Amino acid sequence: MDSPGYIVLSRLGAQLRSTQVSANNLANADTPGFRAERAVFAEFLQPRSGGAPVGDRGAAYAIDRATWRDTASGSISTTGNLFDLALKGDGFFAVETPRGERYTRAGRFMLAGDGKLTDAEGNAVLDARGTPIVLGPNDTRVEVRGDGSVRSENGPIGQLRVVRFDDPQKLRAEGARLYASDEPGAPAERPGVVQGAVEGSNVQPVVEITTLTAQMREFQFATQFVEREGERLSSAVERILRRR
């Protein structure tokens, strides 16, 4: 394969990656607390050997550099469920998983049979001390205040562990709801907890569909170029063989 073939192959790989990211965003448009992602690409220039014309920058290849996360908050909708919690600030709830402490914006919590407050996957929601929040059988009127404190008619139960990170882009996504970090986050001073509400995804479906359609068209254009380049090479080989 010559340089044009390798160049368009790098573009196809980058375009495929971009399409996958957009498709994942669209699939999680209704996932509570989901943050949309965007692919980041760079250009690698390979100087041409020999006498290149003036102004020729060389062969430009597309490189998949990274994926960045849109940290804008999603819309908060009222549900009336006592254990649905949303965050107005930039923090994350902490939950206990078999892999260690993880962080989430998806505050659709529920009460397990043993009294633990858990997320949709059964992970225990942690308090400020790093231990699971447990409600007693007589705690029927549960109140969660804006500062994250949890209490019932029987008195204080605990304080939600809500943490923030200086650079949320360093968080590693595990599935659509959880994030992992190499360093523990700092306690959020003003978590802005809202009881009876859930933060939705910050994905805008119309924008994602439009972006995905454009990406698919660009992918098709690149594949057409590959086909035509293959035809050009085949024609060149045939002409060379005929001369021989």
Q: pLDDT tens digits, residue range 147-189?
A: 999 999 999 999 999 999 999 999 999 988 999 999 888 999 8
Which structural domain range is residue 139 located in? 76-199
- Same domain, yes or no: 83 and 184: yes
- Same domain, yes or no: 226 and 163: no
- Same domain, yes or no: 195 and 209: no
> 64 forms bridges with which residues in the sheet?
41
Q: What is the pLDDT of residue 48?
A: 62
Distance from the first to the final alpha carbon of the chain: 22
pTM here?
Answer: 0.79
- Same domain, yes or no: 161 and 211: no
Q: What is the pLDDT of residue 123?
A: 96
In whole angstroms, give the CA distance from residue 93 to residue 118.
Answer: 11
Q: What is the pLDDT of residue 221?
A: 81
Q: What is the pLDDT of residue 151?
A: 95
- Same domain, yes or no: 87 and 144: yes
Domain tally, the chain: 2
- Same domain, yes or no: 229 and 163: no
- Same domain, yes or no: 9 and 61: yes
Q: What is the pLDDT of residue 195?
A: 96
- Same domain, yes or no: 180 and 68: no
- Same domain, yes or no: 87 and 190: yes
- Same domain, yes or no: 170 and 216: no
- Same domain, yes or no: 155 and 90: yes
Give me the helix-helix angle, 205-243 and 3-27, nearest 10°.
160
Which is nearest to 108 in space by CA: 189, 187, 27, 31? 31
Q: What is the pLDDT of residue 2?
A: 58
- Segments in the chain below pLDDT 50: 1
Distances (CA, A) of 184 to 74, 94, 166, 187: 24, 10, 11, 9
- Same domain, yes or no: 94 and 193: yes
